[in-house]
Amino acid sequence: MNITVIGCGYLGAVHACAMAELGHHVVGVDVDRDKVEALAEGRAPFHEPGFTEILRRRLETGGLTFTTDFSAIAGARVHFIAVGTPQGPGGAADLTYVEGAIEAMKPYYDNWMRLFPTLEDLAKASEDEVVHAWQGLGYYSRARNLRLGVQDVVNNYGGVVPHNRKDMESLKGVGSYTAGAVLSMAYGEPEVAVDGNVLRIYARLYGIFDDILGTKGKKAITAIVEDTLPHDRPGDFNQALMDFGSAVCIPKTPRCGECPIVNMCHAYQHNVTNQLPVRIKKTKVVDVPVFVGILSYGDYYLLHKRPNRGLLRSMWEFPSVENADSYDAAESGLTELVEALGFGLSLQPVIVKELTHVFSHRKWFMKAFRGDLQYAGDHPSIEAIQKQLSKDWMLIKRDEFADYAWAGPHGKLTELCPIIE
Structural domains in the chain, sorted by start: 2-98 (3.40.50.720), 161-269 (1.10.1670.10), 286-416 (3.90.79.10)
Cα distance between residue 240 and residue 80, in whole Å: 18
193 vs 403, which has greater pLDDT?
A: 193
pLDDT band at 421 (very low <50, low <70, confident <90, very high): low
Which pLDDT score is estimated for 214?
Answer: 92
pLDDT band at 130 (very low <50, low <70, confident <90, very high): very high
Which pLDDT score is estimated for 93?
Answer: 67
Please compute the mean of the pLDDT values over residues 120-128 and round it to a whole number: 95
Verdict on whether the full-model pTM lies above 0.75:
no
415 vs 225, which has greater pLDDT?
A: 225
Model confidence over 217-253: pLDDT tens digits?
999 999 999 999 999 999 999 999 988 988 899 888 8
Which pLDDT score is estimated for 330?
Answer: 94
Q: Indicate whether 92 pLDDT > 70.
A: no
416 vs 206, which has greater pLDDT?
A: 206
252 vs 188, which has greater pLDDT?
A: 188
| Torsion sign, CA atoms 333, 404, 142, 390 | negative
Contact 179, 168 (CB under 8 A): yes
Task: With H, G, I as helix, E, B as strand and everything else as coil, classify residue 355.
Answer: strand
Contact 288, 355 (CB under 8 A): no
62 vs 138, which has greater pLDDT?
A: 62
Please compute the mean of the pLDDT values over residues 72-78 and round it to a whole number: 76
Q: Indicate whether 365 pLDDT > 80.
A: yes
* Beta carbons within 10 angstroms of residue 149's beta carbon: 22
Q: Indicate whether 191 pLDDT > 90.
A: yes
Which pLDDT score is estimated for 237?
Answer: 97
Contact 238, 181 (CB under 8 A): yes
Nearest to 68 by CA among 41, 110, 40, 33: 33
Cα distance between residue 213 and residue 209, in whole Å: 11
Which pLDDT score is estimated for 357?
Answer: 84
pLDDT band at 16 (very low <50, low <70, confident <90, very high): very high
Supply φ then ψ for residue 221, to 5 degrees: -70, -40
Which pLDDT score is estimated for 358?
Answer: 79
Cα distance between residue 333 and residue 326, in whole Å: 11
Which pLDDT score is estimated for 420?
Answer: 64
Please compute the mean of the pLDDT values over residues 146-173 and round it to a whole number: 96
Nearest to 146 by CA among 165, 167, 166, 127: 127
Which pLDDT score is estimated for 411?
Answer: 87
Percent of the chain clearing pLDDT 70 (strictly above):
96
Cα distance between residue 375 and residue 384, in whole Å: 11
Contact 80, 15 (CB under 8 A): yes
Q: Indicate whether 32 pLDDT > 90.
A: no
Interaxial angle between packed helices 196-206 and 215-228, expressed in degrees from 0 to 180 and rounded to the nearest 10: 80
Which pLDDT score is estimated for 316?
Answer: 94
Which pLDDT score is estimated for 177?
Answer: 94
Which pLDDT score is estimated for 277?
Answer: 95
Summary mean pLDDT of the chain:
90
Which pLDDT score is estimated for 87?
Answer: 64
